[in-house]
Amino acid sequence: MKKALITGITGQDGSYLAEFLLEKGYEVHGIKRRASLFNTQRIDHIYQDPHVDNIRFRLHYGDLSDTSNLIRIIQEVQPHEIYNLAAQSHVAVSFESPEYTADVDALGTLRILEAIRILGLEKKTRFYQASTSELYGLVQEVPQKETTPFYPRSPYAVAKLYAYWITVNYREAYGMYACNGILFNHESPRRGETFVTRKITRGLANIAHGLESCLYLGNMDALRDWGHAKDYVRMQWLMLQQESAEDFVIATGKQYSVREFVLWSAKELGISLRFEGKGVEERGVVDAVEGKDAPEVREGDVIVRVDPRYFRPTEVETLLGDPTRAKERLGWVPEISVQEMCAEMVQEDLKIAKRHALLKLNGYEIPVSLE
C-alpha cells in the first residue's frame, strides 16, 4: 500500500487531497499543528479512530519550524510521497509577519528536503512543493507559463521563491523526485474565511440574512485566474506519478476581477448590485431583492464598501496562467468553472448563515468576523 504524508492537512487543499488519496487506496498521514482548539473541521469527516486496527488515516503533531519533529515523523512514516502544503499562506498577513512566513514557507521546505536526504530516502520518497502564481507578482509576460521570469511582491512570495528553487536544487543535486506545482488561485467552500472569494460569499450570505450590514473589501480591480481546489489537488497527485519530476503551471487560463466575483455572488443570492463612485467612495447598492433567500436586505442599502485597510503595500494586480504544458503532458484540464464554484460557495455559506440566523432568532448571539 502506498503511503503519503501531507503537511497542511487541516487546510483547504490538504483536506481535499487527503480525501482524494484515501479514495485511491493510499495510507494517508498528516501533520497537524498543536492548537488550543481542535482545528480539524475540514477533515473531521475522514478521521479514523487510532484505536481501531488497519486504519488508513493518521495525524501526527508537528510544525514546519521544528526540524527534529519533521525528521522523526518522516522516519516513522517512511512515505512514498510527501505533499508539502503547509504554509503561512496569506499574502497580506505575510507583510505583518514576514520573518515567521520566511521560516515556515521557505526554511520549512528546506527542512523537509533535508530530512528526506538525512534519512536516505532520496530514491524512495517523492516530494511535491506547493508553489504559487504569486511568484510572478509584477508580471513580466502574459499569460504566465513555466518559463516566465519571477518577480515576487510580498514576503510570502519571496519565501515561496526560496522554496521553489530549493526544490529544484535538491532535484538537480541529489537526483530526488522533487517538483513544483505553480498553482494559480483555487478556492472552494472550504477556503479560509479571510481570502477574498470566501470573504465575499460568506459576507454577502450573512448580509442577506441580516447578520451583517456591510462587506468591506480592498482592491476590487485585482484580476485573478481562479479554479476549484478539487481540480487542483488531482493535479498535485498526477505530478508525482510521472517518469521524471517536472514543474507545472496549473491554472484555468481565464481571468476575472474581484468585482466580478462580488457580482456573481450577489446574483446567486438574488441581490442586484450597482457600483457607484471611485476608489474608497465606491459603493455597492442594492437595487432589488428577489427570492426568499435574501429577506433582510432592503432596496438602497449600501452593502459593499472599499476599505483601504485591505490594500497591500505592494499589490499583485493581475495574474493569468497558461496551463498548456499540464494539459499536454499530464492530460489535466480543470472541470469546474469559476462561476460554478462561486455558486457552490454561496450556497454553502447560505446554509451556514441560515443556521446562524435561526440561532439569533432564538436568542443566541453569534459573533461574525469578516476580516
Active site amino acids: 132, 134, 156
* C-beta of 65 vs 242, nearer to ligand NDP: 65
Reading the block at residue 41, the C-alpha cell is: 473541521
Report the residue from 7, 10, 15, 89 that binds ligand GDR according to the rule CB under 6 A: 89
Q: Is 21 near ligand NDP (CB under 6 A)?
A: no
Phi, psi dihedral angles at 3 (to 5 degrees):
-115, 135
Reading the block at residue 345, the C-alpha cell is: 460557495
* C-beta of 220 vs 289, nearer to ligand GDR: 220
Q: Which does 218 bind (CB under 5 to 8 A by kind): ligand GDR, ligand NDP, none?
A: ligand GDR
Report the residue from 115, 159, 179, 258 that binds ligand GDR according to the rule CB under 6 A: 258
State the Cα–Cα distance between residues 229 and 232, nearest whole angstrom.
Answer: 5
Smallest distance, Å, CB 265 to ligand NDP? Answer: 18
* C-beta of 166 vs 316, nearer to ligand GDR: 316
The span from the first CA to the last CA of the chain, in angstroms, equals 43
Burial string for 263-283 (b: 16+ CB within 10 Å, else e) reads bbbbbbbebbbeeeeeeeebb
Q: Name every residue whose Cβ is closer than 8 Å to that of residue 153 and which is 6 or more positions away in sequence.
A: 134, 137, 138, 314, 315, 316
Peptide bond just before 143 cis, omega within 30 deg: yes
The site string for ligand NDP over 163-202 (x = CB under 6 A, - otherwise) reads --------------------x-xx-----x----------
Edge-to-edge strand ranges of the sheet holding 81-84: 57-61, 27-32, 3-7, 81-84, 126-132, 178-183, 248-250
| Region binding ligand NDP by CB under 6 A among candidate stretches 73-81, 86-94, 279-287, 322-330 | 86-94
- State the residues that interact with ligand NDP by CB under 6 A: 7-8, 10-14, 31, 33, 35, 39, 63-65, 85-89, 104, 130, 132, 183, 185-186, 192
